[in-house]
Amino acid sequence: MVAESDINGESGVPVEWQLAAERVRAHLCAVRGGAMFLSSADAARLMGWLAEGRPVGSIVVAIERAAAARQAARSKAPLTLGHAARHLAKAAPRAAPAPSESSAHPFAPLIEAAAGGGPAEATLRRALLGIDADDPEAELMALAALSAWYDALWSALPADERERRCEAQMDLLGGLVDLVGDEAAWALAEEAVRAELRRERPGLDAAHLWGCLEAHAARREQA
């Protein structure tokens, strides 16, 4: 959750900001695992971005790019919005393949990428199919579906498989475990496993989703 002082009804924060902030929080937590809330510093940073008019799509793409960069660098601290800040200016949407027919669903590339998966992918496909891309809330609804899918991938892992993967990541952390402590190291291991699960399913991420929305908006303007 974003800081209570920022999102309660008496704060004066616009409702659309509250909804946007909740989507960013949910996505950040689905990407990293662990704590299901924003720190006070991250809540303030997010409010600042929303005040600047930063699109939610660009923020979540920056989060995913920051997560990928941190995995490569073996970062010593859990993912925060601070880590995403340097990626935000360059968080342009990834080009989304155009649907094969003009009448195809705007999220067709993601829906096709999720085909043949398990129950979590089936749920994601149903959610995307049920979204009207012309709805003002389409982006937030689609991000909610994607965040829920990220969490579903983690939850669907059998306990022994989850532990095996996390222990393998702990081994890769090596001496870093002694520097950050077991609890923080395990949080980093969970974040790494969640990243593995996403990499195993290319084409299903926030950049592709945002690209689909941008492509749909462009086609609508040209119509």
The model scores a pTM over 0.85 = no
Question: Count of domains in the chain?
Answer: 1
Which tokens hold the place of 98? 């155009």
Q: Residue holding tokens 């929303």?
A: 50
pLDDT digits (tens, 9 = 90+) for 76-127: 778 899 999 989 877 555 555 555 455 578 999 999 999 888 899 999 999 9
CB atoms under 10 Å from CB of 211, counted, come to 21
Helical segments of the chain, H only = 4-7, 15-32, 40-51, 56-73, 81-88, 108-113, 119-129, 138-156, 159-173, 176-180, 182-199, 206-222
pLDDT digits (tens, 9 = 90+) for 162-178: 999 999 988 887 766 66
> What was the pLDDT predicted at 46?
94
Q: Which one-letter amino acid corresponds to residue 208?
A: H
> What was the pLDDT predicted at 173?
77
Range of the domain at 54: 4-222
More confident residue, 98 or 13: 13
CA-closest candidate to residue 107, choices 81, 128, 134, 84? 128
- Kindly state the average pLDDT of the residues 38-45: 91
15 burial class (0-12, 13-18, 19+ CB within 10 angstroms)?
exposed
Query: At what angle are helices 182-199 and 56-73 packed, to 10 degrees?
Result: 110
Percent share of the chain, pLDDT over 90: 47
Q: Residue holding tokens 């926030």?
A: 206
pLDDT at 15 > cutoff 50: yes
**DSSP assigned state of 183:** H
Quickly list DSSP for 29-72: HHHH-S--S--HHHHHHHHHHHHTT--HHHHHHHHHHHHHHHHH
